[in-house]
């Protein structure tokens, strides 16, 4: 395998972003180092970006929520003259593998979603101050913010030029956010997305592409005023002390990664990875003050960060691993006690942020294009947020009764209050509501079982697991499943899973990821875009792409 992509970073390693703090407002400057590409072969000119730039940005968004509770508004702006951001680097895209392109788009979408969630859920609002050309992925950064201010100076503009220039789609939900979030009129959106040079000033405001167009003479003053307005209505505490997100404990091996609470074991022969999450071994913190003192080492925060990193590692470094098997170990009652501290103190900013982090991590699991299975075995710890892994799985297998020679506790599944609203999917429903979409009364039925350690027979009768097998049948049945799954086409599996996982209502989020999985995945393989004479390959050569003009 080529270079391993590492999603862990910290402020001492940033090459592309700068932060400045002014009371309850943070100023985030995009100042991309041209020579700081994640791979060789391209320069990140004009504030263009690659995955490495976005890994830093995702880290910043996370740290602002945990390390800076006093920050109520974040102003995103360029650190360069005459350009805001030229978007994703075209040389990088043209040279990247198909899998890297798609996973890059998915990660950038998840990072943009984190912008929006920070404002909606945590009161940490993002504003975008645009001076200079703001094109493609640059405008998609702006679209993810709560408010966009454009300099009305005759040269600053916003644009989504991917279709006329590159024969691809705006890869970070641009089309969907233009229509669904900013509610741009369809015909005007058609003109906008077909125009290379973009739209400037008052017209951008009239078309709803930005919220405000301001002359240069008033630009700085206006940006500062709007940031203060957003900060004034934020409920975030002004005097709280943040929690430092210390480096994760990790060790990489040839066939896996070991963290303090998560372990990945890769079986390359069967193209699968076992992802085991170990529950807490210490009692829950005695108070919210103790939780704060424990900081990044408290199990609920540490395990969520480790699981997030594990999923990103598998997505981006292990393309041939097609099946993730979620396992767990530990005491479900102890895990439930840790979660209960958060639930009882959810009005406290730190407890709330940890719960919201689990929500984001579990969404990332849902959106991972791999088959997901949960094996609920003796000694398992599927309770609360870890029970969500079982509900996120495409199938779940539960061990029934005692297994000969195994002295661990009988397998159980334990529901908590958290399973009934705190960790919704992208469709806005809980995983249990999605599971029982055709039988909504079942949600109330299983809710009555909160706190009870459900053994296999009862869990299956309630519809909480797919299959339950005793020790006589367990090995054969799970082996057959693993062999069958490995024999199927990965493309067909990706399509099937994406269709089946998100039953129920559509949201902007499900449309963004659904369209990414289907349309961009397809377009990124078409010769009109990536063939030798395709637009993406010819960009910058002075030659236009040659297209097969047949509609498909």
pLDDT in tens, 96-153: 999 999 999 999 999 999 999 999 999 999 999 999 999 999 999 999 999 999 999 9
Q: How far is CA 279 from CA 300, 327, 338, 392, in A?
A: 9, 11, 10, 18
Q: What is the mean pLDDT of the chain?
A: 96
Q: Of 330, 207, 343, 209, give the one whose Cα is nearest residue 279.
A: 330
CA end-to-end distance (rounded Å), the chain: 35
Digit-coded pLDDT (tens) for 304-336: 999 999 999 999 999 999 999 999 999 999 999
Q: What is the pLDDT of residue 515?
A: 86
DSSP-derived letter for residue 197 is: T
Return d(Cα 111, Cα 106) in angstroms, integer: 9
Structural domains of the chain sorted by starting position, each given as residue range(s) with its CATH number in brackets: 11-232 (3.90.226.10), 250-494 (3.90.226.10)
Mean pLDDT, range 248-274, rounded to an integer: 97
Digit-coded pLDDT (tens) for 154-210: 999 999 999 999 999 998 899 999 999 999 999 999 999 999 999 999 999 999 999
- The neighbouring-strand residues paired with 382 are 413
DSSP-assigned letters across all residues of 28-54: EEE---TT--SSSS---GGG-B-HHHH
Q: What is the pLDDT of residue 184?
A: 98
Dihedral angle sign, alpha carbons of residues 22, 25, 26, 30: negative
Digit-coded pLDDT (tens) for 345-354: 999 999 999 9
At 552, is the pLDDT very low, low, confident or very high (cuts 50, 70, 90)? confident
Evaluate whether 151 touches 130 at the Cβ level (below 8 Å): yes
Return d(Cα 13, Cα 192) in angstroms, integer: 37
Return d(Cα 496, Cα 484) in angstroms, integer: 15
Evaluate whether 326 touches 375 at the Cβ level (below 8 Å): yes
Q: Would you state the structure tokens that stand for residue 477, as one six-digit string?
A: 């049945």
Q: Of 481, 478, 517, give the one whose Cα is nearest residue 501.
A: 517
Asked if the model's pLDDT at residue 1 lies above 80, the reply is no
Mean pLDDT, range 47-65, rounded to an integer: 98
Asked if the model's pLDDT at residue 302 lies above 50, the reply is yes
- Tabulate helix, strand, coil % of the chain (nearest 5): 45, 15, 40
Q: What is the pLDDT of residue 242?
A: 97
Cα 94 to its chain centre, rounded Å, is 24
At 2, is the pLDDT very low, low, confident or very high (cuts 50, 70, 90)? low
- The neighbouring-strand residues paired with 78 are 30
Torsion-angle region of 297 (φ positive above 0: left; ψ -120 to 50: alpha; else: beta): alpha
Mean pLDDT, range 499-518, rounded to an integer: 91
């Amino acid at each position: 395998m080529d270079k391993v992509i590492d999603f862990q970073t910290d402020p001492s390693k940033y090459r592309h972003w700068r932060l400045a703090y002014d009371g309850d407002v943070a100023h985030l400057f995009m100042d991309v180092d041209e020579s700081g590409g994640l791979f060789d072969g391209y320069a990140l000119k004009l504030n263009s970006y690659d995955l490495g730039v976005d890994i830093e940005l995702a880290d910043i968004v996370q740290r602002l929520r945990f390390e800076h509770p006093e920050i109520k508004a974040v102003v995103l702006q360029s650190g360069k003259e005459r350009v805001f951001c030229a978007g994703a680097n075209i040389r990088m895209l043209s040279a990247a593998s198909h899998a890297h392109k798609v996973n890059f788009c998915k990660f950038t979408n998840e990072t943009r979603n984190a912008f929006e969630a920070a404002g909606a859920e945590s009161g940490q609002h993002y504003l975008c101050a645009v001076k200079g050309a703001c094109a493609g992925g640059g405008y998609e950064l702006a679209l993810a913010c709560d408010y966009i201010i454009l300099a009305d100076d005759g040269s600053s503009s916003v644009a989504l030029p991917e279709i006329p220039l590159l024969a691809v789609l705006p890869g970070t939900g641009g089309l969907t956010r233009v229509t669904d979030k900013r509610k741009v009129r369809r015909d005007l959106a058609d003109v906008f997305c077909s125009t290379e040079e973009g739209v400037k000033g008052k017209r951008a405001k009239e078309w709803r592409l930005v919220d405000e167009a301001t002359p240069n003479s008033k630009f700085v003053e206006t940006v500062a005023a709007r940031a203060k307005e957003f900060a004034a209505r934020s409920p975030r505490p002004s005097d709280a002390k943040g929690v430092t997100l210390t480096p994760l404990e990790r060790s990489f091996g040839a066939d896996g990664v070991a963290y303090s609470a998560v372990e990945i074991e890769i079986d390359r022969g069967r193209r699968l990875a076992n992802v085991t999450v170990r529950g807490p071994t210490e009692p829950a913190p005695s108070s919210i003050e103790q939780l704060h003192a424990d900081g990044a080492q408290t199990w609920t925060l540490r395990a969520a960060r480790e699981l997030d990193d594990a999923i990103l590692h598998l997505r981006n470094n292990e393309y041939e691993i097609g099946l993730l098997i979620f396992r767990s170990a530990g005491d479900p009652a102890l895990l439930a006690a840790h979660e209960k501290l958060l639930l009882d103190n959810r009005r406290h900013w730190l407890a709330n942020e940890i719960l919201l982090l689990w929500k984001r991590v579990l969404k990332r699991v849902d959106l991972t294009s791999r088959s997901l299975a949960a094996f609920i075995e003796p000694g398992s710890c599927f309770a609360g947020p870890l029970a969500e892994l079982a509900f996120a799985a495409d199938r779940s297998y539960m061990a029934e009764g005692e297994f000969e020679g195994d002295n661990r506790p009988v397998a159980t599944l334990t529901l908590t209050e958290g399973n009934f609203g705190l960790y919704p999917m992208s469709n806005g429903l809980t995983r249990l509501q999605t599971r029982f979409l055709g039988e909504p009364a079942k949600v109330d039925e299983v809710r009555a079982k909160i706190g009870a350690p459900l053994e296999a027979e009862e869990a299956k009768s309630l519809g909480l697991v797919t299959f339950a097998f005793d020790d006589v049948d367990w090995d054969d049945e799970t082996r057959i499943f693993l062999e069958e799954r490995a024999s199927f086409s990965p493309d067909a599996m990706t399509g099937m899973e994406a269709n089946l996982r998100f039953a129920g209502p559509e949201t902007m989020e499900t449309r963004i990821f659904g369209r990414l999985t289907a349309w961009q995945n397809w377009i990124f393989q078409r010769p009109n875009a990536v063939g030798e004479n395709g637009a993406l390959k010819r960009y910058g050569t002075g030659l236009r792409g040659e297209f097969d003009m047949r509609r498909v």
